[in-house]
Amino acid sequence: MCNTCGCDHDHQHDSSGTRVVDVNQSLLKTNEEAAARNKQLFDEKGILAINLISSPGSGKTTLLEKTIEALKDQVSMAVLEGDIETDLDAERIRAKGVPAVQLTTGGACHLESALVSAGFHNLEHQLDGRKLDVLFIENVGNLVCPSFFDLGEHRRVVLISVPEGHDKPLKYPKAIRTSQVMVITKADLIPHFDFSVEKMKTDALSLNPSLHIMVTSAKTGEGMEEWFDFLQRHRKE
């Protein structure tokens, strides 16, 4: 309850007595409540939910395609695809034989828990009672906004590609601090760029000492087995 005006809502008043409502705090609280419901549902169904965040073009969809190719006979997977417009990435996933639901934000630079919930219920209709082991949530391409919104995932994975440069962890610290895994992608391009894997690792670990870091190339297969092993290990927890 507000002590100044006596209403039931939490807010502040400025020096003139004008009521000031923290809209951002309210939005995040609503999202967090929905995220908690999502996670409870995923737990009840025994689903490992993974939220993939990255800049546009870092290779999220390609990583998923390679993962599906390698594991679809061992692991039941589905994908919620976040984009501002189009269902191009969802079509790429469906072409690999895995259910995918497109989540189109219509301009928003991140996914929110309510949209993920609606997408998951749509996905359940496609599954028609089949058991799901891993749910991938491919977020909108952006290293800023998605870092602030929990979607109910069990693991947040941030992808950073070699062409983006090794300075990205320091430029986008929230993305690193809120993730459990960092995947360096397009490692086959390292010889062609001024890129230091060790510098990126050092900077990322200075922000998040418990971060699990992988170096991968979907083109050559480098590091992909480590990624597959990670998925297999955590889906059994």
pLDDT given at position 84? 87
- In this prediction, residues 116-126 reach a mean pLDDT of 95
For tokens 């995947």, the residue is 183
**Are 235 and 75 contacting, i.e. CB atoms less than 8 angstroms apart?**
yes
Q: What is the percentage of the chain residues whose pLDDT exceeds 70?
A: 89
* 6 located within any domain: no
DSSP class of residue 52 equals: E
Here the CATH number for the domain that contains residue 124 is: 3.40.50.300
* 9 located within any domain: no
Distance CA 46, CA 145 (A): 28
pLDDT tens track for 184-237: 999 999 999 999 999 999 999 999 999 999 999 999 999 999 999 999 999 866
Distance CA 81, CA 92 (A): 10
Distance CA 107, CA 122 (A): 21
* 57 located within any domain: yes
Backbone φ and ψ of 5, nearest 5°: -110, -10
* 103 located within any domain: yes
Tokens representing residue 39 in the block: 């996670």
Give 106's pLDDT tier (boundaries 50, 70, 90): confident
Give 13's pLDDT tier (boundaries 50, 70, 90): very low
Distance CA 132, CA 50 (A): 13
Distance CA 6, CA 44 (A): 40
Distance CA 197, CA 68 (A): 27
* 13 located within any domain: no
Tokens representing residue 224 in the block: 């992909």
pLDDT given at position 211? 98
Give residue 30's domain range: 18-235
Taking CA atoms, 40 is separated from 148, 152, 209, in Å, by 20, 8, 28
pLDDT given at position 1? 42
* 164 located within any domain: yes
Backbone φ and ψ of 77, nearest 5°: -125, 155
How many domains is the chain built from?
1
* 60 located within any domain: yes
* 186 located within any domain: yes
Distance CA 115, CA 118 (A): 5
Q: At what angle do helices 23-44 and 113-127 cross, to 10 degrees?
A: 30
pLDDT tens track for 21-69: 555 677 789 999 999 999 999 999 999 999 999 999 999 999 999 999 9
**Are 77 and 56 contacting, i.e. CB atoms less than 8 angstroms apart?**
no
What's the predicted TM-score (pTM) here? Answer: 0.88
